[in-house]
């Protein structure tokens, strides 16, 4: 009975999707808002990467919401997973090549991660993507040396301060008589590293927060796994 | 002054990010941060309510004028629910101190911030982001009750919420593909031309089922009894009392502004009727107090869905009155359940040991059933007269089911009340009540006092709600307020 209802629901949903898809013209999107943003994003935000001007400017509060969702998810996972303690030495240690390979990759990953974060307003990339690479940089040595641990105190400090600075940059704009999260200090130079005003700062906060959060989440998971 | 409204969302987020850090260095300072932030939020909103002019206004976030950027739309209805969110967040603040306190309080701040966002936001995708934040922070809070039953309940809730989120996102994507905008006012302008078709209806249904997960809509409410029975009562009260109403508010707004198809209201009416029937019968059979309250909440939300399906501003008035009434009553009843705890059998003869609590229960029950001087009567009376005025036979069925539900409701509530006033058999040893007993009784008395105050002031309250309903009904006002602003900040 349960299976049958599930099947009926899935079938009905599939039929609805198909009949809707037939009616939409594919490949010619309605660019009502998109077109307007494309035409005035450059002078409004100074970011040559228009995606960034949407993510941090036009829809900045959505990004703040996404950051909070990530924070809530990491905190919830911490609540559930954080009670156990790792028993070191249950996993075999990695070999020489694995350990030193992991260590050598660390500076490279850090460089790439920060490069992507700092150039988010100029080229594809930004805080979310760079943050994930930073998290990988910290997590890779952890995989190579099963006994090693990340310092959760430091991670949660970075996480909290980065999130708070995102909100604070928005509040400073409010303090100066502008709207909450309004981009400030927009220079008239385009396409150089120091441009687009506060947007790169916001992306740095996003990158650090995403990096710290994912790293601590992954290490929580790894510890719980080594427990089982 | 108006721009400061955004602080009611921004400050709780800031507090949530900083709370774990501050609590590590100074617990004594940390425990005050949350209540202070929420208290300040209440103050901002109350100030706006008292000193603001009656006109609704819109705040452009990031300084980008509305159809391009995101805006908060503030009318009396949004203000009312935002205020209720901050106030209930303060009342149900998780004071309990243990090793999980920083995370629990941070999650609670996130929950309040996102709920306020749900009440205020004027952008479809922004609503979705806040809706997701509500979902994710409640997962953590429920699982933090850390009983294995709570874990199981969370898993079911998580899966249903996930399905709901995907459906909502799908509906939003359809709307965006069709119109190319996400701003509610802009959508309201374009809807008569572009969304008054099958595609718009499909998008509405997807959003309805998705948002319906938290509004306890009929087929997607199976998570409700487990979660409310296993989570901390204060959290259950917040979810049942407030979050369900906010989801209802989103559906109401979308219906008023964008989707005017008759099929949309028909679907809501049918699902609402089914919700009333299933909820009330299940509540009648329940053996556990919290479970009974959870099922009765499904039934009550079904009644509100029936009211949402009503066409004009009297319908909106009925929705508002029923929602606020249910918010007061359910929060109070959950606090009483927290005070007593456990199965209904243990309540036998409890009136002799705690007369105040038993009296409060009778008061809430009377208002819930709709006894004349109490506010519940006026809320239900509005709904009945409005339903009786409709010509469609489906509304008649709604009316009949609603009356039947009231009878069932009276039957199980007074069965419990009668049990309380029976003489207590001597062989049952009362287990000692939990420590939070007196705090939850105080909270319940607060809601009881609120109910009595509402009874005394029922006529000015009714006029106020009527004005709010008329304002919320006015689509042209919404479009004008949001789109006719000078560029820059909303002054």
Report pLDDT digits (tens) over B319-334: 888 898 888 888 888 8
Closest CB to B107 among A72, A156, A159? A72
Residue B122's CB is within 10 A of a number of other CB atoms, namely 27
* Tokens found for residue B370: 């709709």
H/E run at residue B71: strand B70-74
Chain B, window 61-80: residues with a beta carbon less than 8 angstroms from a chain A beta carbon: 61-64, 67-70
Average pLDDT value for residue range A10-34? 80
Chain center to CA of A13: 31
Read off the pLDDT band of A7 (50, 70, 90).
Answer: very high
Asked if A68 lies within 8 A of B3 by C-beta distance, the reply is no
Q: What value, to the nearest 5°, has the Cα angle with vertex B290 and ends B287 and B295?
A: 80
* Tokens found for residue B225: 């009894």
What number of residues does chain A have?
A: 228
Distance CA B63, CA A59 (A): 11
CB of A50 closer than 8 Å to CB of A192: no
Chain A residues touching residue B59 (CB < 8 angstroms): 179-180
Average pLDDT value for residue range B476-489? 69
Distance CA B105, CA A106 (A): 35
CB of B380 closer than 8 Å to CB of B329: no
Chain A, window 88-127: residues with a beta carbon less than 8 angstroms from a chain B beta carbon: none
Average pLDDT value for residue range B12-40? 86
* Tokens found for residue B334: 């959950």
Asked if B136 lies within 8 A of A69 by C-beta distance, the reply is yes
Mean residue pLDDT of chain B comes to 84
Distance CA B49, CA A67 (A): 31
Distance CA B275, CA B252 (A): 17
Q: What is the CA radius of gyration of chain A?
A: 22
Q: What are phi and psi of B183, to 5 degrees?
A: -70, 130
- Residue B110 pLDDT more than 90? yes
Closest CB to B126 among A23, A37, A62? A62
Closest alpha carbon within chain A to B69 = A58
Long-range contacts of B77-81 (CB under 8 A, 24+ apart): B77/B249, B77/B320, B77/B468, B77/B469, B77/B471, B77/B472, B78/B119, B78/B120, B79/B45, B79/B48, B79/B49, B80/B320, B80/B468, B81/B119, B81/B245, B81/B246, B81/B249
- Residue B487 pLDDT more than 60? no
C-alpha neighbours within 13 Å on the C-beta side of residue A168: 11
Return the residue matching tokens 């029937």.
B277
Asked if A179 lies within 8 A of B62 by C-beta distance, the reply is yes
Report the pLDDT value the prediction gives residue A221, as an integer from 0 to 100: 78
The CA distance from A149 to the nearest CA of chain B, in Å, is 20
A181 closest CA partner among B109, B78, B70? B70
Paired with B60 in beta bridges are B71
Question: Within an 8 Å CB–CB cutoff, is residue A10 touching chain B?
Answer: no
Asked if B10 lies within 8 A of A32 by C-beta distance, the reply is no
Q: What is the CA radius of gyration of chain B?
A: 22
Average pLDDT value for residue range B276-285? 88
Tens digits of residue pLDDT in B170-189: 999 888 888 888 889 888 88
Mean residue pLDDT of chain A comes to 82
Tens digits of residue pLDDT in A46-59: 778 888 888 888 88
- Residue B447 — left, alpha, or beta (φ > 0 → left; ψ -120 to 50 → alpha)? alpha
Q: What value, to the nearest 5°, has the Cα angle with vertex B228 and ends B226 and B230?
A: 65
Distance CA A43, CA A55 (A): 16
- Residue B433 pLDDT more than 80? no
Report the percentage of chain B scoring pLDDT > 70.
95
Paired with B288 in beta bridges are B343
Tens digits of residue pLDDT in B306-365: 888 887 778 888 888 889 888 888 888 888 887 777 677 777 777 777 778 888 888 888
Asked if B61 lies within 8 A of A60 by C-beta distance, the reply is yes
Distance CA A54, CA A123 (A): 14
Closest alpha carbon within chain A to B126 = A62
Read off the pLDDT band of B75 (50, 70, 90).
Answer: confident
- Residue B128 pLDDT more than 90? yes
Tens digits of residue pLDDT in A97-106: 888 888 888 8
Q: What are phi and psi of B274, to 5 degrees?
A: -60, -40
B153 closest CA partner among B276, B294, B271? B294
B131 closest CA partner among B143, B108, B113, B145? B113
* Tokens found for residue A78: 């911490």
H/E run at residue B60: strand B57-61
Question: Within an 8 Å CB–CB cutoff, is residue A170 touching chain B?
Answer: yes
Report the pLDDT value the prediction gives residue B112, as an integer from 0 to 100: 93
- What HEC string does A139-179 produce? HHHHHHCCCCCCCHHHHHHHHHHHHHHHHHHHHHHHHCCCC
What one-character DSSP code corresponds to residue B6? G
- Residue A25 — left, alpha, or beta (φ > 0 → left; ψ -120 to 50 → alpha)? beta
Distance CA B237, CA B132 (A): 20
Question: Within an 8 Å CB–CB cutoff, is residue A6 touching chain B?
Answer: no
Question: Within an 8 Å CB–CB cutoff, is residue B187 touching chain A?
Answer: no
- Give the residue with greater pLDDT, A90 vs A202: A202
Average pLDDT value for residue range A77-99? 68
User: Domain map of chain B by residue range?
Assistant: 2-483
The CA distance from A23 to the nearest CA of chain B, in Å, is 8
Helices (H), chain A: 2-23, 32-45, 50-52, 60-81, 96-118, 127-144, 152-175, 199-227
Show Cβ contacts of residue A24 under 8 Å, excluding neighbours closer than 6 positions.
B177, B178, B199
User: Domain map of chain A by residue range?
Assistant: 2-227
End-to-end CA distance of chain A: give it in Å, rounded.
Answer: 36
Helices (H), B121-243: 124-143, 148-179, 184-194, 198-212, 224-230, 233-238
Q: What are phi and psi of B58, to 5 degrees?
A: -130, 140
Question: What ipTM was estimated for this complex?
Answer: 0.88
């Amino acid at each position: 009975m349960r299976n049958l209802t599930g099947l009926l629901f899935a079938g009905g949903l599939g039929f609805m999707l198909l009949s809707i898809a037939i009616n939409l013209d594919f490949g010619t999107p309605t660019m009502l808002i998109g077109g307007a943003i494309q035409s005035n994003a450059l002078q409004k935000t100074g970011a040559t990467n228009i995606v960034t001007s949407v993510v941090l400017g036009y829809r900045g509060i959505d990004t703040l919401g996404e950051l909070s969702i990530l924070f809530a998810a990491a905190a919830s996972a911490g609540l559930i997973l954080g009670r156990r303690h790792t028993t070191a030495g249950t996993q075999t240690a990695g070999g020489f090549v694995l350990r030193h390979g992991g260590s050598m990759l660390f500076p490279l990953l850090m460089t790439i991660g920060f490069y992507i974060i700092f150039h988010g307003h100029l080229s594809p990339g930004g805080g979310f993507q760079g943050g994930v690479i930073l998290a990988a940089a910290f997590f890779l040595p952890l995989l190579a040396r099963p006994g090693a641990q990340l310092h959760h105190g430091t991670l949660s400090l970075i996480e909290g301060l980065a999130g708070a600075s995102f909100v604070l940059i928005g509040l400073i704009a409010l303090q100066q008589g502008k709207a909450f999260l309004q981009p400030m200090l927009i220079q008239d130079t385009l396409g150089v590293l120091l441009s687009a005003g506060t947007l790169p700062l916001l992306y740095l906060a996003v990158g650090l927060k995403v990096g710290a959060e994912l790293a601590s989440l992954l290490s929580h998971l790894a510890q719980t796994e080594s427990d089982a | 002054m108006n721009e400061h409204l955004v602080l009611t969302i921004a400050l709780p987020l800031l507090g949530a990010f900083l709370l774990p850090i501050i609590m590590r260095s100074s617990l004594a300072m940390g425990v005050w941060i949350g209540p202070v932030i929420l208290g300040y939020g209440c103050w901002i909103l109350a100030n706006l309510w008292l000193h603001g002019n009656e006109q609704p206004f819109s705040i452009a976030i990031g300084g980008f004028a509305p159809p391009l950027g995101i805006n908060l739309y503030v009318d009396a209805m949004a203000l009312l629910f935002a205020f209720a969110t901050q106030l209930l967040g303060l009342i149900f603040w998780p004071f309990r101190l243990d090793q999980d306190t920083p995370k629990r309080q941070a999650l609670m701040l996130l929950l309040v911030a996102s709920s306020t966002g749900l009440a205020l936001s004027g952008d479809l995708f922004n609503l979705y982001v806040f809706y997701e934040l509500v979902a994710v922070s409640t997962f953590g809070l429920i699982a933090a009750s850390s009983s294995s039953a709570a874990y199981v309940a969370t898993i079911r809730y998580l899966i249903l919420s996930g399905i709901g989120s995907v459906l909502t996102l799908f509906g939003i994507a359809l709307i965006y593909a069709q119109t190319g905008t996400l701003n509610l006012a802009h959508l309201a302008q374009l809807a008569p031309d572009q969304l008054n078709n099958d595609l718009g209806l499909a998008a509405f249904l997807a959003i309805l089922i998705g948002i319906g997960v938290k509004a306890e809509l009929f087929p997607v409410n199976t998570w409700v009894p487990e979660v409310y029975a296993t989570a901390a009562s204060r959290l259950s009260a917040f979810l049942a009392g407030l979050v369900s109403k906010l989801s209802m508010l989103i559906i109401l707004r979308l219906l008023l502004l964008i989707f005017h198809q008759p099929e949309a209201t028909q679907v809501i009416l049918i699902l609402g009727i089914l919700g009333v029937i299933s909820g009330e019968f299940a509540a009648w059979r329940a053996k556990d107090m919290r479970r009974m309250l959870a099922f009765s909440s499904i039934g009550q939300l079904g009644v509100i869905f029936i009211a949402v399906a009503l066409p004009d501003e009297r319908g909106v008035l009925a929705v508002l009155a029923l929602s606020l009434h249910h918010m007061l009553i359910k929060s109070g009843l959950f606090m009483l359940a927290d005070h007593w705890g456990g199965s209904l059998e243990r309540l036998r003869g409890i009136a002799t040991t705690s007369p105040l609590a038993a009296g409060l229960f009778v008061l809430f029950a009377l208002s819930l059933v709709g006894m004349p001087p109490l506010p519940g009567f006026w809320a239900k009376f509005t709904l009945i007269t409005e339903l009786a005025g409709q010509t469609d036979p489906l509304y008649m069925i709604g009316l009949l089911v609603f009356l039947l539900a009231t009878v069932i409701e009276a039957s199980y509530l007074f069965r419990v009340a009668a049990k309380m006033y029976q003489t207590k058999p001597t062989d049952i040893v009362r287990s000692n009540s939990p420590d939070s007993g007196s705090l939850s009784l105080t909270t319940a008395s607060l809601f009881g006092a609120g109910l009595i105050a509402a009874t005394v002031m029922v006529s000015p309250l009714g006029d106020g709600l009527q004005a709010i309903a008329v304002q919320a009904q006015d689509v042209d006002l919404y479009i004008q307020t949001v789109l006719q602003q000078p560029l820059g900040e909303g002054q």
